[in-house]
Amino acid sequence: MRVDMLAIGTELLLGQIVDSNTAWLGEQLAAVGIDTFRSVRVGDNHDRMVAELASMSEQADAVICCGGLGPTQDDCTRSAIADALGVGLIRDGELVAHIESLFAARGRTMPESNLRQADVPEGATVIPNPLGTAPGIRAVLHPRGGGECIVYALPGVPYEMHEMFTLSVLPDLLEQQGERRVIVSRTLKTWGKSESGLAESISDIVDAQTNPTIAFLARGIEGIQVRLTASAQDEQSAERLIGPVERELDARLGPLVYAKDEDTMESVVLALLAERGWKVAVAESLTGGLVCSRLVSVPGASHSFVGGMVTYATEIKRGALGVTAVDVISDECVQQMAEGVRSGMGVEVGIAVSGVAGPDGQDGHTAGEVHFGVVTPDGPVAFGRFLPGDRERVRSFSAITLLDTLRRTLLGLSFGSG
């Protein structure tokens, strides 16, 4: 089965928004063995959208459209699909009531323009949107060459699109394939090794697998993910296929794997602290609160995280944390920062980061030089590294590296490449 993608929105062509939707859809389709040969971006232009739908429907079994389902005049996906079908739009009374109820629940008056979101091409069906006001559309086109092509129109808002694709579109596609099979995926999140190095270290395992398949997904600041995807008649059978391969990868990758599936570096760290009944406090310099922000993003973080301090200026490091190190970009400094915040906030664990995000030349240090410190009841850990990228990437890499340093400390692991 071939499923192509049409991303809609002039802002995509102007570079004002990055098209992450088609990348995500491509991953999901590939995971279940569905081919994608073509991905097109088109502006908010009715005639060009109709032309693209006609062209794509002649080659693909299905087309997934993202965007253009909003309430404003430039949101013309509904009318474009209607014209491609050669039919008119019908206002759906149930959708009107649903959209009105969403506004009422928020204590707002619904603008008249939102009624446009209840318009559905004649003969099409509605794809429910549990998270927003823009319902999706499922329609069947009959191209000039014969046959048929299913068009799925989904909102451009990523979290709405993800939910609607997973709940409605993917099951329908699998049924169209004639395969009532269950797809189960497991994601191993790694930190500390490049994608090429990671792939090389497990190449024999990857080459030996057909079901489950193994794919590498680069996630930037969050590291490299290794995704296992199994297809079977039921969930239990798929899990049995994944299990042995997952255990083999765990054994090979060891401490490089910091989390799985929905877990994150910060959720894992907080869970490890909770197991010991320890609490943590943070002292940050160049990261400016990024570490604390990551920790408080986890529900229930207050059980193990008490607070933090942004000690950016040297005099604040000395006055608030008792730092005496001559060089404030050093192992000695971050160890003192960690101890200072630990004792000052009365907790078992203190962690700290200091360095140069950029530009070069701060106190003779090069941009990207960052030092990390952790102090626990078992003693101190401090070391420095050079991190790549521009100012913001160095700061983001520093935040996750400090959390990984804490993870490894709590697990009694080394600080090499894994």
pLDDT of residue 160: 92
Burial class (CB in 10 A: 0-12, 13-18, 19+), 312: middle
- Flag the least confident range among 32-36, 88-92, 271-275: 32-36
* DSSP letter assigned to residue 317: H
Sign of the four-CA dihedral 205, 208, 214, 220 = positive
Residue written as tokens 């959390």? 403
Backbone angles phi, psi at 6, to 5 degrees: -125, 110
Provide mean pLDDT across the span 129-146: 90
| pLDDT surpassing 70 at residue 418 | no
Provide mean pLDDT across the span 107-127: 91
pLDDT digits (tens, 9 = 90+) for 322-375: 999 999 999 999 999 999 999 999 999 999 999 999 887 667 899 999 999 999
Q: 265-411: same fold as 3-176?
A: no
Domain ranges of the chain: 3-176, 182-260, 265-411
Residue written as tokens 């087309």? 63
| pLDDT surpassing 50 at residue 417 | no
SS3 (DSSP) at 188? strand
SS3 (DSSP) at 199? helix
∠ at Cα 333 (332, 334), nearest 5°? 100
CA-to-CA distance for 6 and 52, rounded, in angstroms?
A: 8
Indicate the CATH number for domain 265-411: 3.90.950.20
**pTM for this one?**
0.73
Pairing of strands 125-127, 224-232: unpaired
Mean predicted lDDT score pLDDT of the chain: 92
DSSP string across 35-47: B---EEEE-S-HH
What's the topology of domain 182-260? Alpha-Beta Plaits (3.30.70)
What's the topology of domain 3-176? Molybdenum Cofactor Biosythetic Enzyme; Chain A (3.40.980)
CA-to-CA distance for 376 and 384, rounded, in angstroms?
A: 18
pLDDT of residue 65: 97
CA-to-CA distance for 195 and 226, rounded, in angstroms?
A: 10
SS3 (DSSP) at 178? coil
Q: 190 vs 71, 82, 219, 253, 369, CA distance in Å?
A: 41, 46, 10, 8, 22
Provide mean pLDDT across the span 221-247: 91
Q: Where are the alpha helices (DSSP H) in 223-363?
A: 235-253, 265-276, 290-296, 314-321, 331-345
DSSP E strands: which ranges in 39-196? 39-42, 62-66, 89-91, 119-121, 125-127, 136-141, 149-154, 182-190
